[in-house]
Structure 1
Amino acid sequence: MSHPNRHRFPKIEIRWPGLVIWLTAWVLLWLCDGVLNLGNLALLLVLASAMAGTWLSATASVVLSALSVLGFNWWFVPPRFTFHVHLHQDLLLLVTMLGVSVMVSYLMARLRSAAEQESQHAQAAQQLRALSEQFREGLDLSAQGRLLQSVLQTRVHDTVSVLLLREPDAPSTRPAASHLTGHPDAQDTQGLWACVKQFAAIGPGTGRYENQATLFLPLRGPSCAWGAVALHGVSWLALTALTRHTVQQMCDVLGLELERAHTLQQAQHAKEEAQSQSLRNTLLTSISHDYRTPLANLMGAASVIHDQGARLSPEQITNLAHTVMLEAQHLNRMTTNTLQLARLDAAALQVHKDWESLQEVVGAVLSKTRMRYPLRQIDVVLPAGLPLIFCDAMLLVQLLDNLVENAIKYSPDDSFIQLHAQGQGDTIELRVIDHGPGIPDVWKSKVFQAFERMHPEAAQADASDETQLRRGVGVGLAVCQAIAKVHGAKIWIEDTRPHGATVCVAWPVDVQPDMNSPSSEV
């Protein structure tokens, strides 16, 4: 921030053009004496008075104009070398010249002063805009305090202390709720807090606490003060009107910025709370809706076994027990996915990684899948020599298990599922391919959002046999995306030709470990 006084020239630089104009006018008067009449000579002085007033102050212009009229009377008006005037027209000429010269000099000086003030106001406005932009650059509270302190010290040429509040109406008994820049003594610190509470300037020249040696200015927001500044050893009346106005506006710029940032933070918190509430409501709605069918089937099968066990054949009991097992597995899957999604969305999640073999992970997934779907055909292609991957094995198993489960649910029973892996530079690309109805382009990104499903009719308790296996909360692919995200992997969906869907996962491959050294964990 530049100080406006730096744009002012020293007095000698301001005044010398005016003095040169007056000297030039007098040289021309002597040269034109006897060539031009008194009226034309007088016009030279009037012209010089108007031109010199552009550089000279109002007082200097008026004084020089008056002296020039007296000199003109002494040297050029008959009788010369006296102040006597014989002719009435010469007296009128002198009076008119004096009046015009003084008036023109005064008006020109006032115009120059007004132009200088306007220039200073424009410079101050530009400084305030620049200061506001600097405050909005995401600076923390301490950096904002140091910036305002530096700008004000340049402006008033004295020591400045700045008190900033982190929240409105923060009490002085809570140091963590405020930030102090500078080293004010105990009395000045009390003055800063008093200025915040009174929401007005206090100190010498303000009409409040005139006995104070320090001037205190509030950082005013629309509704309250967000801090205060202490101008040590500065009187309010000792500052020029422009400086007083600019200094207070600089303080208010920071006050407005602090309130704006606080309002945005409150709005963000409100938005996050609304999203969290919406997520909870959606989760409760989905759970209450989608858990109803498996619970009803569990209760029905258990009730039949309990009430009619003696009359049932071993085959009927086995079928009912199988129903109980399938529905329990379905409930367990929905619960695990929902809880895992909540865990992966946590801000401070620590994923425990280790070097794992993809063949072992896929083997664990296939073992679980064949227990649930012993009749489904799964084609697995794992090239030899695939590198180890650095991951949380349990999360990777859950990711592949969810993808295979979805592929089975959304494809005909007589079709086969493909699980292929291949190296692609610094990644391993996993592809789970099905030959079902496929996924439209508009849904290829939406299906990775929690509680989004292409077939909402499958959530009904009385869903048809065709869609009965598609029941779920709609978080399976959302969990897969969350797992991929915490591992730095990418997941997307492509079409399978001629029909079906392919879910692709590009898993990063890190520098392979030394097989002789113990595995590392993070």
Structure 2
Amino acid sequence: MSQPNRHLVPKLEVRWPGVAIWLSAWALLWACDGVLNLGNLALLLVLASAMASMWLSATASVVLSALSVLGFNWWFVPPRFTFHVHLHQDLLLLVTMLGVSVMVSYLMARLRLAAQRESQHAQAAQQLRALSEQFRENMDLPTQGHLLQSVLQTSVRGTVSVLLLRELAALSTSPAASLLIGHPNAQDTQGLWACVKQFAAMGPGTGRYENQSTLFLPLRGQSCAWGAVALHGVSWPALTAFTRHTVQQMCDVLGLEIERAHTLQQAQHAKEEAQSQSLRNTLLTSISHDYRTPLANLMGAASAIHDQGALLSAQQITDLAHTVLLEAQHLNRMTTNTLQLARLDAAPWQVHKDWESLQEVVGAVLSKTRLRYPQRQIDVVLPAGLPLIFCDAMLLVQLLDNLVENAIKYSPDESLIQLHAQRQGDTIEVRVIDQGPGIPDAWKDKVFQAFERIHPQAAQADASDETQLRRGVGVGLAVCQAIAKVHGAKIWIQDTQPHGATVCVAWPVDVQPEMNSPSSEV
């Protein structure tokens, strides 16, 4: 990062154009002597004064303008080689020339200084923007501290030490949580901590502890300091007020960036905590409400077998045992879906993918479904030559199993359930089709939200026989959407004609793995 100009007064090497202009003007005066009258010759000096002021300081411009008037009076105004003026108009000419030259020189010099100051401010603003962007690109706190140290050492040409706070608690409870960059002595280390606590600059030119040889500047945030810097071995008389101000602004840029990162971290933590709390509350509500009916059925059937086993027939015991099994499976399914949803919503969560055959996945789903619903008719259409899917097989089985389970729950017992798959461009589209009541358009997106149910009365303890199979916590489709999301797939719902619902899943087709050919060796 370039260093701003230290002084507004022009240096010797940049004054030579002004000196050259004055020399050229005097040479032109001698050449035009006797050709032009005094008024025109005087205009040459006024022009030279205005032009030379662009390179000379205000003092030098005024002094040279005054000397030029005296010289013009000596060499060109009659009587020559004296400072006497016989004609009143010549005296007026000299006075006017002196006034105009001095005023023009002063104004031009002031204008040039203002332009230089504006250039410095623009350069400093550009430096601060570049520094802020570098801080944002390098979010690591030690990297930011070393970057600030390097920039300040270039700006002040001295040694810089930086104290950074990893958290505000480090100020009062844990100094080990702070970061010290550089090699300050014990006294400067104490000065750094004092600068942070007092939230103010200390040292030369600050009005506080002026006798110190080290300048301490805080890394200011909105309401507190997130660190401090110590500037050692700097020539304070040569350091301009503008440079001091710019250095403080550089420190403030890092202070605000640290505060911003800390605020974002707190906001993210609060968001995660709120989500976690919301999920816990929802799970507790769901467990207390939706788990009550299957648990009651389990306890009733198990209690009947335990207390009246000797009085029950073999068929009655079989029926009660079947009830226990169904309710246990129902509880296991709700628990698995709820826990899976919690895992998929947690970040980060690693999905273990591998190349899987859709035929094998569908076969596993059908095996589980036929054990639960041996009487239901399921039509499966899987074209030959479907590409492999890069996925987590267990999650894909759970997704399709949930879709088939919902189709069975929400359709008549004698209706056909269809599971069709086909390739559509760069995707494999799987459709689960039922002949149930369908899903209203207003609910086609809402059903993918956790704990949302179209028929909430189905989860009540006094649910009717018609809705008894539809009990649940409303997380099945939410889990399906979460599984599709982590695999880059898309899931949506369409209507089935003349009635029913079709759940579609478009699975991306990745570049297929190379198959190793079998060895030809005998």
Q: TM-score, normalised by structure 1?
A: 0.85
Aligned-residue CA RMSD (Å):
3.7
In 2, Cα distance between the equivalents of 1:132 and 1:216?
A: 21
Q: Do 1:430 and 1:507's aligned partners in 2 also have CA atoms closer than 8 Å?
A: no
Residues 355 and 345 (structure 1 numbering): CA distance in 2 closer, same or farther, change over 3 Å?
A: same
Q: Which residue of 2 aligns with 1:511?
A: 513
In 1, Cα distance between the equivalents of 2:390 and 2:87?
A: 113
Tell me the SS of whatever aligns to 1:260: helix
For structure 1, which segment, 420-429 or 447-456, has the greater mean C-alpha deviation from structure 2 after superposition? 420-429
Tell me the SS of whatever aligns to 2:168: coil
Counterparts of 1:96-495 in structure 2, within 5 Å, are 96-137=96-137, 139-171=139-171, 174=174, 177-210=177-210, 212-302=212-302, 315-347=315-347, 349=349, 361-382=361-382, 394-421=394-421, 430-440=430-440, 443-485=443-485, 491-495=491-495
In 2, Cα distance between the equivalents of 1:427 and 1:74?
A: 98
Q: Do 1:496 and 1:502's aligned partners in 2 also have CA atoms closer than 8 Å?
A: no
For structure 1, which segment, 396-405 or 277-286, has the greater mean C-alpha deviation from structure 2 after superposition? 396-405
For structure 1, which segment, 321-330 or 203-212, has the greater mean C-alpha deviation from structure 2 after superposition? 203-212
How far does the alpha carbon of each residue in 1:394-432 deviate from its partner, in whole angstroms, 9 at most, with x for none? Answer: 444433322221110122211122234567788765443
Q: TM-score, normalised by structure 2?
A: 0.85
AA partner of residue 153 (structure 2):
Q
Note the residue ranges of structure 2 that are not aligned, 5 or more in a row: none
For structure 1, which segment, 457-466 or 84-93, has the greater mean C-alpha deviation from structure 2 after superposition? 84-93
Q: Do 1:165 and 1:179's aligned partners in 2 also have CA atoms closer than 8 Å?
A: yes
Tell me the SS of whatever aligns to 1:102: helix
In 1, Cα distance between the equivalents of 2:144 and 2:117?
A: 29
Q: Do 1:215 and 1:233's aligned partners in 2 also have CA atoms closer than 8 Å?
A: no
How far does the alpha carbon of each residue in 1:133-163 deviate from its partner, in whole angstroms, 9 at most, with x for none? Answer: 3333363223322332332233223333333
How far does the alpha carbon of each residue in 1:307-334 deviate from its partner, in whole angstroms, 9 at most, with x for none? Answer: 6667665545544443333223212211
AA partner of residue 140 (structure 2):
D
In 2, Cα distance between the equivalents of 1:388 and 1:39?
A: 98
In 2, Cα distance between the equivalents of 1:6 and 1:213?
A: 20
Alpha-carbon offset, residue 248 of structure 1: 0.7
Residues 496 and 142 (structure 1 numbering): CA distance in 2 closer, same or farther, change over 3 Å?
A: farther
Alpha-carbon offset, residue 31 of structure 1: 4.5
Q: Which residue of 1 aligns with 2:503?
A: 502
Residues 503 and 458 (structure 1 numbering): CA distance in 2 closer, same or farther, change over 3 Å?
A: farther
AA partner of residue 196 (structure 1):
V
In 1, Cα distance between the equivalents of 2:497 and 2:152?
A: 70
AA partner of residue 255 (structure 1):
G
Q: Do 2:489 and 2:505's aligned partners in 1 also have CA atoms closer than 8 Å?
A: no
Q: Do 1:172 and 1:193's aligned partners in 2 also have CA atoms closer than 8 Å?
A: no
Question: Quick one: percent identity of the two aligned structures?
Answer: 86
Counterparts of 1:4-15 in structure 2, within 5 Å, are 4-5=4-5, 11=11, 14-15=14-15
In 2, Cα distance between the equivalents of 1:169 and 1:335?
A: 41
Q: Which residue of 2 aligns with 1:65?
A: 65
Q: Do 1:203 and 1:235's aligned partners in 2 also have CA atoms closer than 8 Å?
A: no
How far does the alpha carbon of each residue in 1:450-496 deviate from its partner, in whole angstroms, 9 at most, with x for none? Answer: 22333334333333333221111111122234444556655444554
Q: Do 1:358 and 1:388's aligned partners in 2 also have CA atoms closer than 8 Å?
A: yes
For structure 1, which segment, 378-387 or 273-282, has the greater mean C-alpha deviation from structure 2 after superposition? 378-387
For structure 1, which segment, 20-29 or 64-73, has the greater mean C-alpha deviation from structure 2 after superposition? 20-29
Count of residue correspondences: 517
Q: Which residue of 2 aligns with 1:29?
A: 29
Alpha-carbon offset, residue 220 of structure 1: 0.7
How far does the alpha carbon of each residue in 1:333-391 deviate from its partner, in whole angstroms, 9 at most, with x for none? Answer: 11122122223444465556677665555444333322322221122345667777676
AA partner of residue 103 (structure 2):
M
Residues 169 and 242 (structure 1 numbering): CA distance in 2 closer, same or farther, change over 3 Å?
A: farther
Tell me the SS of whatever aligns to 1:462: coil
AA partner of residue 506 (structure 1):
W
Q: Do 2:201 and 2:216's aligned partners in 1 also have CA atoms closer than 8 Å?
A: yes
For structure 1, which segment, 384-393 or 367-376, has the greater mean C-alpha deviation from structure 2 after superposition? 384-393
AA partner of residue 197 (structure 2):
K
In 1, Cα distance between the equivalents of 2:7 and 2:46?
A: 30
Q: Which residue of 2 aligns with 1:520?
A: none
Note the residue ranges of structure 1 that are not aligned, 5 or more in a row: 518-522
In 1, Cα distance between the equivalents of 2:424 and 2:50?
A: 84
